[in-house]
Chains A and B, each alone.
Chain A
Amino acid sequence: MQLLIFNAFCVGAVVSALLMVTTKRPVRAAMSLVATMSFLAGLYVLLDAHLIAVLQLIVYAGAIMVLFLFVIMLLNVEEKEGKLAGKTMLLQAFATVVVGLVMVTMVGLFKANGSLGAAGDASDAFGTTKAVGQMLFTEYLLPFEIASLLLLAAIVGAVILAKRRIDDSGTE
Chain B
Amino acid sequence: MTETVVAAAGSGWLRIIIGLIVVLLFSQLNALFLVWLERKVAGHIQLRPGPMEVGPHGILQTIADGIKLVGKELITPRSADRILFVIAPVLVFMPVLVAFLVLPFDQHLIIRDMNVGLLLIFAFSTFSVLAILLGGWASNNKYALLGAIRSVAQNVAYEIPLLLSVMSVVLMTHSFRFSEIVAAQHRFWFIFLQPVAGLIFFIAATAETNRAPFDIPEAESELIAGFHTEYSGMRFGLFFLAEYTNMFIVSAVAASLFFGGWQGPFGFSLGLPGLVWFLIKVYILLFVLMWFRWTFPRVRFDQLMNFSWKVMIPLSLANLLVTAVVVKLI
Contacts and interface: CB of A to CB of B under 8 A. Distances in A.
Chain B associates with chain A: yes
A69 B116 contact: no
B81 interface: yes
B130 A72 contact: no
Contacts of A58: 119, 122-123, 126
A128 B127 contact: no
B152 A69 contact: yes
A65 B133 contact: yes
A61 interface: yes
B257 interface: no
B247 interface: no
Residue of B84, B126, B127, B149 contacting most chain A CB atoms (<10 Å)? B126
Contacts of A72: 137, 145, 149
Interface in B113-139: 114-116, 119-120, 122-124, 126-127, 129-130, 133-134, 137-138
A28 interface: yes
A153 B192 CA distance: 40
Interface of A: 25, 27-28, 31, 34, 50-51, 54-55, 57-58, 61-62, 64-66, 68-69, 72-73, 77, 128-130
Interface in B75-92: 81, 83-84, 87
B93 interface: no
B81 A51 contact: no
Contacts of B311: none
Contacts of B87: 31
Q: Give the contact-size bracket for chain B.
A: 20 to 34
A27 B81 contact: yes
Contact of A61 (B114, B120, B123, B137): B123
Contacts of A27: 81, 84, 134, 137-138
B190 interface: no
A72 B129 CA distance: 15
Contacts of B122: 58
Q: Shortest 7 CB-CB distances between A and B: which pairs? A: A57-B123, A61-B126, A54-B119, A54-B123, A58-B123, A50-B116, A54-B116
B15 to A, nearest CB: 16
Contacts of A34: 130
B54 interface: no
A38 B134 CA distance: 16
B152 A65 contact: yes
Contacts of B174: 130
B218 to A, nearest CB: 18
Contacts of B159: 62
Residue of A25, A31, A66, A69 contacting most chain B CB atoms (<10 Å)? A31
13 contacts: A27-B84, A28-B81, A28-B84, A31-B84, A31-B87, A31-B134, A50-B114, A58-B119, A61-B127, A61-B130, A65-B133, A65-B152, A68-B137
B126 A62 contact: yes
Given A50-B114, A58-B122, A69 B134 contact: no
B263 to A, nearest CB: 24
A69 B84 contact: no
B45 interface: no
